[in-house]
Amino acid sequence: MTKTMNEIKSILATDCGSTTTKAILIEKTEGEYRLKVRGEAPTTVEAPFDDVTIGARNAITEVEELAGRTLLRGDKVITPDDGAGTGVDLYLSTSSAGGGLQMAVAGVVRKMTAESAERAALGAGAIVMDVLSVDDGYKPHEKIQRIRHLRPDIILMSGGIDGGTKTHVIEIAETIIAADPKPRFGSDFQLPLIYAGNIDVHDEITRLMAGHADLEIVDNIRPVLERENLGPAREAIHELFLKHVMAHAPGYDRLMTWTDVDIMSTPAAVGRIIQTIAKQHGINVLAVDIGGATTDVFSVFGETFNRTVSANLGMSYSMCNVLLEAGLENIKRWLPVQIDDHDIVNRLRNKMIRPTTIPHTLEDLLVEHGVCREALRLAFAHHKELAVSLRGVQQQRSISEAFAQSATGETLVDMFKLDMIVGSGGVLSHSPSRHQSALMMIDAFQPLGFTTLTVDSIFMMPQLGVFSSVHPEGASQVFERDCLIYLGTCIAPQGRIKKPGTKIADFSIQTLDGSPQSGELLGGDLLRYELPIGAEATVTVSPLRAFDFGAGKGRSVTAKALGGTTGLILDGRGRPLEQATDEAQRIENNRSWLQAMGLRYE
């Protein structure tokens, strides 16, 4: 980098996805960074091209044409910017092409060190292919067979607090050696293995792994029961991702010579921008990226960041997996029309075998949005199970007692403390109406209290994530002004609706430039009030004794609410949101909720 960050005026960033490579041009205008143009092209990491830089150049060429400036010379990005329309000051890239970063993790106790290793891998942007532990219930030959069938990019091995068990850690290492797993890319190098366990076993692990793996030893992930230390393992994963995965994927060796900072995996970059925004604004954030095959969920509560990947939940390739896991009845419960069961199943199968198609009829769209709700719900449930406080810290116990005890940590996801939800992925970012995106997120996540709803307009969070690694303020400016679209604020209580139609709260809405509005919120109702982007309202809700808007049951709450394309949404359907058991009543309820949001159902 030949210029200081204060002198950086233009940034080109690409995200090499599994199917599409996206390029964005950011320019500094009147003292702040803004998105200039965006381009995209098919990713070319696979045959017949086998060169990721071809897709990157094609996407950058579109940016050149739209921006009217020269960015490429030969097969390389021109840096720095000459100030006369040629080149950029900074070129950055992220990647999930070729399936992204795929890992296997291992630990001694599934709900302790193995779970900590899983959190470390997920937070580094990996898809976790399998989690192995001494207490996972598999026989030794079954463990070997499981590992042998994997072709991970990296294995992360943990186990034992410092000074703790040695025998079980060595047992895991010997199982990995017996399985002799092969790396996904390349056949002329050893599989990278990161050891982040008991420091007393370092020498033994080094001896055992000699000639079997490219061993990297880092600080223990769980040095004591009461503390996790995920940073060193995540840094090692990132370094090995560049050294082994990127270096052996077709064309990445050349792409790495173009970039001014290290290439970052796409999920790690998204997590980076979410953490940056949460830290700068002092808020708790939940973000979701729902794709065709997988759904990623990110959360920041306080200083704790968590990410999970639901690798079998998606809107095209994995649509039938959603059907299998959620069940047909759970998808049907969101439909405002009656559709034959076989018809629904066939629509989902057709989408799975033709993943690039979009809904052609309103019924197709309603079915797809029902699947989206269930995919988000299931992915969020998975996230809450992993985003937990440390397990097994209440008492000192032997390793055998640890196996026997089903210690459960409490989830860190507190919906009353959640400030913002960020939705991303085609079904949320590109819905025909922003009101549909808002309603899908409300139905799936069931926020409590006052929660701001947003969507990523064109999915440039990965590029902004890698940009934030060198210029957090600049990345935040683009994220706030060009990436994020504010949908509005959802206001909802905790409490079950025992009798629909009865009052659950009084409310009043006061805006800066209007007279106050007030009314009653009835059980089962959904109310929407216009409040444009940039506007703010003071809302007071006074619930009955059985309902809690964040201050306790029956206590009034006054809070600020941000506007957006959808405005204010008062959700009186209760938490948990329960659908009517009678099909006719369920259909009528769904119709009334869509009508309240100004949406069609026929």
Least-confidence region, from 14-23, 280-289, 384-393, 579-588: 384-393
Partners of 494 in the β-ladder: 548
Q: What is the pLDDT of residue 559?
A: 97
Question: Above 70 in pLDDT, residue 99?
Answer: no
Q: Where are the alpha helices (DSSP H) in 354-500?
A: 362-386, 399-404, 426-429, 434-445, 461-468, 472-478
Tokens 């996805």, located at residue: 17
Convert the pLDDT of each residue in 113-130 to its tens digit. Answer: 999 999 999 999 888 999
Under a CB-based contact definition with an 8 Å cutoff, are residues 171 and 143 in contact?
A: no
How far apart are the C-alpha atoms of 323 and 310, rounded to whole Å?
14
| pLDDT of 393 above 80 | no
Higher pLDDT, 301 or 99: 301
Q: Phi and psi dihedrals of 136, rounded to 5?
A: -85, 0
**Residue 74 CB partners (closer than 8 Å, separation 6+):** none
- CA dist., res. 541 & res. 559, Å (int): 9
| Tokens found for residue 126 | 């990996």
Cα separation, 560 vs 541, in Å, equals 12
For 35-88, what is each residue's pLDDT tens digit? 999 999 998 988 888 899 999 999 999 999 999 999 999 888 999 888 888 999
Count Cα atoms within 13 angstroms, Cβ side, for 139.
2
The strand pairing partners of 33, in sequence order, are 28
pLDDT bucket at 392, cuts 50 / 70 / 90: low
Confidence band for 356, pLDDT divided at 50, 70 and 90: confident
User: Percent of the chain beyond pLDDT 90?
Assistant: 75
For residues 265 and 95, the answer to whether their CB atoms sit within 8 Å is: yes
C-alpha gyration radius of the chain: 25
- Flag whether pLDDT at 394 surpasses 70: no
> Among the listed ranges 282-286, 358-362, 540-544, which one has the minimum average pLDDT value?
358-362
The distance from CA 48 to its chain's CA centroid, rounded to whole angstroms, is 31
Whole-number pLDDT of residue 545: 94
Give the pair of three-digit tokens for residue 399.
């390793």
Position 10 pLDDT exceeds 70: yes
pLDDT 10s digits, 503-533: 999 999 999 887 889 999 999 999 999 999 9
What is the average pLDDT across 173-178? 95
For residue 213, is pLDDT > 70?
yes
DSSP 147: H
Would you place residue 396 in the very low, low, confident or very high pLDDT band (cuts 50, 70, 90)?
A: very low
Of 258, 252, 266, residue with least CA distance to 90: 258
**Residue type at position 79:** T
Mean pLDDT check: name the lowest of 182-186, 342-346, 466-470. 182-186
Predicted local distance difference test score (pLDDT) of residue 90? 95
Q: Give the DSSP letter of residue 217.
A: E
Read off φ and ψ for residue 546, nearest 5 degrees.
-85, 0
Confidence check: pLDDT of 400 > 80: no
For all residues of the chain together, what is the average pLDDT? 91
Pairing of strands 304-310, 264-265: unpaired
Q: Is residue 245 pLDDT above 80, yes or no? A: no
Q: Which helix (H) or strand (E) holds 155?
A: strand 154-157
- Global pTM reads 0.88
pLDDT of 332 = 97
What whole-number distance in Å separates Cα of residue 21 and Cα of residue 95?
9
Q: What are the sequence ranges of the domains in the chain?
A: 5-97, 100-252, 286-311+411-596
- What value does the mean pLDDT take over residues 411-421? 96
Tokens at 305, concatenated: 């960041």
490 vs 241, more confident: 490
Residue 447 binned pLDDT confidence (cut-offs 50, 70, 90): very high
DSSP 191-216: PEEEE-S-GGGHHHHHHHHTTTSEEE
* Domain at 100-252: CATH architecture: 3-Layer(aba) Sandwich (3.40)
The CA-based angle 483-484-486, given to 5 degrees, is: 155
Q: With a cut of 90, say whether residue 1 has pLDDT above it.
A: no
Write the DSSP assignment of 555-591 as a string of letters: --EEEEEE--SSEEEEE-STBTT---SSHHHHHHHHH
| Nearest one of 433, 414, 448 to 565, comparing CA atoms | 433
For residue 199, pLDDT over 70 is answered with yes
Task: Write down the pLDDT at residue 499.
Answer: 93
Instruction: For the chain, give the number of residues.
Output: 602
Say whether pLDDT at 450 is over 90.
Answer: yes
Cα separation, 119 vs 218, whole angstroms: 16
Quick one: average pLDDT of 290-297?
88
| DSSP per residue, 309-328 | EETT--SSTTHHHHHHHH-H
Separation in Å, CA 82 to CA 60, 207, 402 = 18, 54, 63
Element (H or E) spanning 509, and its range? strand 503-511
pLDDT at 248: 75
Confidence label for 194 from pLDDT (cuts 50, 70 and 90): very high
196, 162 contact by CB (below 8 A) = no
Bridge-based pairing of strands 295-301 and 285-290 is antiparallel
Q: How far apart are CA 567 and CA 588, in angstroms?
A: 24
**In the chain, % of residues over pLDDT 70:** 95
Q: 98 pLDDT band (50/70/90 cuts)?
A: low
Class in CATH terms, 5-97 = alpha beta
Dihedral angle, C-alpha 399, 400, 401, 405, nearest 10 °: 100
Reading phi first (left if > 0) and then psi (alpha if -120 to 50, else beta), residue 468 is in: alpha
